[in-house]
């Protein structure tokens, strides 16, 4: 054991040394696990910022066994200190051990019921494990879970802003997008939530999984809140399993969506009352109530398309609100959120609906469009690369080749294939 | 090698020859990568094929055409095998090819030979002398395959051989001759096509791209010149450079010639039009991206979705 420690201390200098150290550690792994109880004092001899790899192996072996209550908080401190001071290149050599340690860290934090303690260390851990900001690791969903449980949504937003292009495990993506969707709903950023939940629902899956089902329920509700409608068919890039089965599994929500589209608030409310316990058991009752209240907004928006001016009393009547005061509150809120453009004349209680004042003549608009074009071009390049990869994929070539016409039209006719639509 | 010939011959070169040589070279060069095995069945026509892959290969061939009086018109060319051991071109092959070409083009004679490279070399004189029994004064067409964007003219040089007395010894050396390019209608069309080679056809697209490239290079040049002026003026201001009033007067007169429309209406219209163009570009990029995405999704579905519809045969009428 001491020999191992001295070896770690000696070989943590250059990159090639670290590689040979890694081989040594792999061989010594079982012996480490066997003596896990004796290990804690050795941890003090190692410096996490210089001997990260060795420290990681020792730490992983230490935390492997069952941990008692007193040991738990001291372990939390050790692990947190390790995460903040370790060297990224060294731990990337043993990513699964690192993920293991972090997951145990998260379990401990949850056992102690102090998820807030785990948020910052987990964020540092993600940044160190990621190969680039487009890489999704197994730690991302754990981090989001901690953020959700500790209700600090703002820290999670920075992680959610990044575009993801590489994923280690599909389950990570599902969980990440699902939790991310929930956090965005908590922050009332419904567009982002819709995007993330859409990713879960349309991700490739050979069989429908529970995460997708839960995400689909929230997806229906959020799309009702944000768009006022729910597209009945999933887009064609959703897996066929999802397309056929998801709707059957979320029947009450689909019916909620169809009654929403009728536009009658009273019907909607009766339906919600009737199925209240189902919504409640899914923890979605809050969302459902938000969906019902968004119905008013939808109706007011529909009014802007028909009328130029309307009195508050009329609005209240048409939207089935109780009084002009409530109508004024709703309209005011919508103007503030930027959902409609209107002016309220308080003297005679008239609301005048205006056009979108954006003239598209400003330099800021130029910069916005320019940055969007740049983003699109990078996405397009990545898509082209993926398209080429896919065209060379043997599975695809096998199936595409099989579907060719048996008899080539060219064999029989001199005229080239101009009639193939 | 002297720089100008004194024979008084006028050379006319057809683009077909240039395209042929360039094609020959490109083919050989691309067949060289990855490094070919050391077996003798290498496809390259030249000597350097198996040895060094860094230096570009040299290709050899013959040019044929018509000589009427003092005008030499080079119409066509064909490839020849180069024998590295004897440093000469394969003679029997040359004669066979010559006969074949005679049947199709009875007027054409072998006028000389071509090769690729930077400059004419000494070993080329051997080949040149060997060809002298076919044609008393062959021409040597040299194509430089290195792509130099700064160079404005074609990297093709025509050499003649002349007997000069150097150090008391009469020697044959290469002298450069000038030439003009002569085109037949068919050649003009094909050269036009090759020059504007684009992955997606459409004459409108190529014209637009050509115009935009022209504008782009013009603006780039303007930008670099303004930068030079700016640096000069900054230097003058700092005192590093002597103050020249004549130059300052010229610069200020140039600046006063700039467009003076600073009115608000101009700004408005300008920004609106700018935004409109940007929006159209955005839409175009969007459509392009969506189309790629669509293809990708289709391919993904065919490859990985187990229950996708079988038999997507398109029905022909």
Pick among B267, B284, B295, B303 to test the A interface (most A CBs inside 10 A): B303
The residues that bridge with A342 in the sheet, in sequence order, are A353
Cβ-Cβ contacts under 8 Å for A292 (sequence gap 6 or more): A265, A268, A269, A272
Contact assignment for B316 to A361 by CB distance below 8 Å: no
Q: Phi and psi dihedrals of B71, rounded to 5?
A: -105, 130
Element (H, E) at B110: strand B109-116
- Structural contact between residues A39 and A58, judged by C-beta atoms closer than 8 angstroms: yes
Which of A205, A376, A391 is the best mutation test for B, with the most CBs of B within 10 A?
A: A376
Percent of chain A with pLDDT over 90: 2
Of the candidates B276, B297, B303, the beta carbon closest to that of A237 is on: B297
Find the range with the poorest average confidence among A64-73, A285-294, B1-10, B87-96.
Answer: B1-10
In order, the DSSP letters of B121-180 are: -SHHHHHHHHHTTTSSS-EEEEE--S--TT--S-SEEEEEEEEEEETTEEEEEEEEE-EE
Q: Which of B268, B279, B302 sits opposite A400 (nearest CB)?
A: B302
Residue A102: is its pLDDT beyond 50?
A: yes
Q: pLDDT digit string (tens) for B94-122?
A: 889 889 998 998 888 888 888 888 877 77
User: Tokens 């030439």 map to which residue?
Assistant: B179
When the pLDDT of each residue in chain A is averaged and rounded to a whole number, the result is: 81
Q: Chain B: nearest CA to A56, how far in angstroms?
A: 39
**To which residue do tokens 């000389």 refer?**
B112
Strands A350-353 and A309-311: antiparallel
Cα B315 to Cα A421: distance, rounded to the nearest angstrom = 8
Q: In chain B, which residues have their Cβ closer than 8 Å to the Cβ of A419?
A: 316-317
Cα angle, residue B301 at apex, residues A410 and A206 outer, rounded to 5°: 145
CB B47 within 8 A of CB B58: yes
- How many Å is the maximal CA-CA distance in chain B? 89
Q: Which of A227-231, B302-306, B313-317 shows the lowest mean pLDDT across its residues?
A: B313-317
Interface membership of A371 toward B (CB under 8 Å): no
Which phi and psi angles does B162 have, rounded to 5°?
Answer: -135, 150
pLDDT tens for each residue of A4-39: 777 777 776 677 777 777 887 788 777 777 777 777
- Omega of the bond leading into A189 within 30 degrees of 0 (cis): no
Q: How far is the C-alpha of B310 from the C-alpha of B306, rounded, in Å?
A: 10
**CA-based nearest residue in chain B for residue A404:** B313
pLDDT at position B312, please? 41
Return d(Cα B63, Cα B112) in angstroms, integer: 5
A360 vs B contacts (CB less than 8 Å): 272, 275-276, 279
Q: Is B55 within 8 Å of B78 (Cβ atoms)?
A: no
- Would you state the structure tokens that stand for residue B292, as one six-digit string? 């790629």
């Amino acid at each position: 054991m001491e020999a191992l420690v001295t070896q770690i201390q000696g070989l943590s200098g250059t990159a090639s040394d670290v590689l040979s150290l890694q081989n040594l550690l792999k061989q010594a792994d079982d012996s480490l696990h066997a003596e896990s109880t004796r290990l804690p004092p050795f941890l003090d001899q190692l410096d996490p910022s210089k001997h990260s790899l060795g420290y990681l192996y020792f730490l992983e072996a230490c935390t492997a066994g069952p941990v008692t209550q007193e040991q738990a908080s001291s372990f939390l401190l050790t692990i947190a200190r390790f995460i903040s001071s370790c060297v990224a290149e060294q731990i990337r050599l043993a990513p699964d051990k690192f993920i293991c340690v972090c997951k145990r860290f998260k379990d401990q934090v949850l056992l102690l019921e102090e998820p807030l303690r785990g948020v910052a260390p987990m964020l540092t851990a993600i940044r160190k494990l990621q190969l680039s900001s487009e890489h999704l690791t197994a730690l991302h969903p754990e981090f989001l879970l901690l953020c959700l449980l500790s209700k600090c949504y703002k820290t999670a937003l920075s992680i959610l802003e990044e575009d993801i292009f590489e994923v280690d495990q599909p389950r990570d993506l599902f969980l990440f997008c699902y939790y991310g969707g929930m956090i965005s709903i908590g922050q009332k950023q419904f567009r982002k939530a819709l995007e993330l939940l859409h990713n879960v629902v349309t991700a490739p899956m050979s069989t429908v999984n529970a995460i997708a089902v839960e995400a689909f329920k929230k997806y229906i509700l959020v799309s009702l809140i944000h768009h006022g409608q729910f597209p009945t068919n999933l887009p064609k890039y959703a897996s066929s399993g999802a397309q056929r089965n998801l709707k059957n599994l979320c029947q009450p929500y689909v019916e909620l969506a169809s009654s929403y589209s009728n536009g009658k608030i009273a019907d909607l409310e009766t339906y919600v009352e009737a199925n209240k316990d189902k919504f409640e058991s899914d923890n979605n009752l809050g969302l459902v109530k938000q969906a019902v209240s968004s119905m008013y907004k939808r109706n007011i928006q529909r009014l802007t398309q028909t009328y130029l001016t309307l009195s508050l009393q009329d609005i209240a009547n048409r939207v089935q609100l109780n009084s002009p005061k409530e109508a004024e509150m709703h309209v005011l809120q919508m103007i503030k959120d930027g959902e409609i453009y209107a002016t309220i004349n308080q003297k005679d209680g008239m609301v005048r609906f205006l056009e979108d004042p954006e003239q598209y003549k400003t330099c800021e608009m130029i910069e916005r469009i320019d940055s969007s074009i740049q983003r699109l071009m990078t996405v397009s390049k990545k898509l082209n690369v993926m398209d080429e990869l896919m065209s060379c994929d043997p599975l695809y070539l096998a199936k595409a080749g099989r579907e060719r016409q048996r008899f080539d039209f060219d064999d029989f006719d001199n005229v080239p294939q101009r009639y193939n639509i | 090698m002297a720089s100008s010939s004194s024979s008084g011959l006028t050379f006319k070169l057809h683009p077909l020859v240039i395209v042929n040589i360039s094609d020959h070279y490109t083919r050989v060069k691309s067949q060289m990568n990855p490094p070919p095995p050391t077996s003798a069945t290498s496809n390259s026509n030249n000597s350097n094929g198996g040895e060094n892959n860094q230096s570009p290969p040299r290709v050899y061939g013959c040019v044929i055409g018509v000589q009427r009086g003092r005008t030499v018109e080079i119409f066509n060319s064909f490839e020849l095998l180069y024998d590295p051991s004897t440093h000469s071109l394969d003679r029997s092959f040359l004669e066979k090819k010559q006969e074949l070409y005679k049947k199709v083009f009875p007027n054409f004679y072998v006028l000389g030979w071509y090769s690729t490279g930077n400059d004419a070399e000494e070993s080329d004189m051997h080949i040149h002398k060997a060809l002298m029994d076919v044609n008393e004064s062959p021409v040597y067409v040299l194509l430089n395959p290195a792509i130099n964007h700064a160079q404005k003219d074609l990297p093709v040089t025509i050499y003649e051989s002349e007997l000069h007395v150097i150090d008391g010894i009469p020697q044959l050396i290469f002298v450069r001759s000038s030439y003009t390019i002569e085109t037949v209608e068919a050649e003009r069309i094909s050269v036009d096509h090759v020059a504007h080679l684009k992955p997606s056809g459409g004459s409108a697209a190529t014209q637009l791209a050509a115009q935009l490239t022209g504008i782009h290079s013009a603006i780039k040049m303007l930008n670099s010149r303004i930068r030079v002026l700016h640096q000069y003026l900054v230097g003058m201001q700092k005192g590093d450079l002597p103050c020249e009033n004549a130059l300052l007067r010229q610069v200020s007169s140039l600046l006063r010639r700039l467009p003076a429309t600073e009115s608000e209406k101009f700004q408005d219209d300008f920004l609106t039009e700018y935004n409109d163009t940007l929006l159209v570009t955005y839409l175009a990029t969007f459509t392009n991206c969506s189309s790629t995405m669509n293809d990708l999704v289709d391919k993904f579905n065919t490859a990985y979705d187990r229950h996708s519809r079988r038999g997507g045969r398109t029905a022909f009428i």
